[in-house]
Amino acid sequence: MYVAATRAREVLLLSGRCDERTDQRSWLGGLGEAHEWALVPPMDWNPEGDQFWERQVQAAETPIRCCWYEPGWRGGTVVQSSARPLARAILPPPLLGELPSERASVDDKILEHEREPHRRVWRVVAGARRPYAPAWLVGTLVHEALGTWRFPDATFDAWGDSRARSHGLTDSAQIRDAVRRARWMLERFSQHTLCEEIDRAEHRLHEVPYHLPDGGDYVSGIIDLLFLAGGRWTVVEFKTDEVRSRAQLEELLEKTDYRRQLAQYGRAVQDLLQADARLVLCFLNYGDGIVLHEEAVD
C-alpha cells in the first residue's frame, strides 16, 4: 500500500468500510484515526438507505474528498454534508466502465511501453567502431526530457549520460553523441514560438494515455503533449526523424501513420474533453530549424 500510495501522480483513491459506530475497526478507519482524518460517516447516514454523502476534510495541506454510499444507492441525489465547497464533482461509480477484451489498435508509444523485453542497446564488444548513438535512443532521450519539460542546463549532460546508460548504452563516445544530439534538438525547440506558447498555457499535460471504444473493441494511445491556451486545446506530437527538405517531409508523411495517429489523438480529445483540438506534428530534426505540420480536425 505504501508503494502504491507514494506513486500516485494525480489522485489516490482508497475504497473500504469505515463505519465508526461498530466495535470492529476497519483498516480504513484505523488509517483515518492514525492521521486524524475525520472519516466518521454523517449522522444521517442510514445503513438501509439509498443516499450518497460527501464532504471534504483536510490532511495537512492536502484536501481529501470523503464519500459514503448507503447500501441501496444506485445513482441520484448527492447530499453534501459539509458547507465547505468541493474542489470538483465526484463521478458516480463505476469510475470507468469495463473495456472490451480486444483492442482494435494501439499507437507506437503503447507498443514501445509494452515491448517485452524492453528495447535496449546490447553491446558484446568493448567499443563501437562509429561513435554514433542509435537514432531511436536519441529520440527516447528527447521525449523523456520533453515529458518532464526539461531543457539543457548545467545538469543536462549528467542526466543524459545516466538515461543513456539505463537504456544499455555503454560506449563513452556513443553516449556523448546521444546527449549532444538530444541537447541540440531541445535547445532549438526551446527557442521556438511553440515552446513559448506552451510555457504560457493555462494547462499542460504530458504523456497522456487514453482508451476509446471502437465498436465492440477499443483503441489505445499516448499523447505526447496536450495543452490549453486561450480556451483551446492543442495536441502536439514530437518527431525526431531526420528530415532535410519539404519533399522528404511529404514522403515521410505518406509512408508512416503519423497523420492517422494524430487524427486519433484529436478524436480522443473530442470524445473525452468534449472539445475540438488543434493537431500539430512538431519535427525537431528538420534541416536547420523546427517545422510544424498541422492537420485539420475532421
| Residue 122 is assigned to a structural domain of this protein | no
- Rank 57-61, 77-81, 150-154 by mean pLDDT and report only the highest: 150-154
| Amino acid in the structure at residue 78 | V
Provide mean pLDDT across the span 121-129.
53
**Counted domains in the chain:** 3
| pLDDT on residue 129 | 64
Measured in residues, the chain has a length of 298
* 290 and 205 within one domain: yes
* 242 and 156 within one domain: no
Examine the fold and report which residue of 190, 222, 237 is the final residue of a domain before the chain moves on. Answer: 190
| pLDDT on residue 107 | 74
* 216 and 152 within one domain: no
Contact 31, 5 (CB under 8 A): no
Average pLDDT, the chain: 81
Q: Which helix (H) or strand (E) holds 156?
A: helix 156-166
Radius of gyration of the chain (CA): 24
In the block, which residue shows the cell 529520440? 139
Q: Say which residue, 14 or 23, is predicted with more confidence.
A: 14
Examine the fold and report which residue of 138, 158, 190 is the final residue of a domain before the chain moves on. Answer: 190
* 157 and 224 within one domain: no
* 142 and 206 within one domain: no
CATH number at residue 277: 3.90.320.10
| Residue 86 is assigned to a structural domain of this protein | no
Residue 222: which domain range?
199-295
Examine the fold and report which residue of 141, 171, 190 is the final residue of a domain before the chain moves on. Answer: 190
Provide mean pLDDT across the span 118-128.
56
Q: What is the pLDDT of residues 178-187, one digit of tens each?
A: 999 999 999 9
Contact 47, 41 (CB under 8 A): no
* 27 and 48 within one domain: yes
Q: How many Å apart are CA 62 and CA 233, to the nearest integer?
A: 28
In the block, which residue shows the cell 510544424? 292
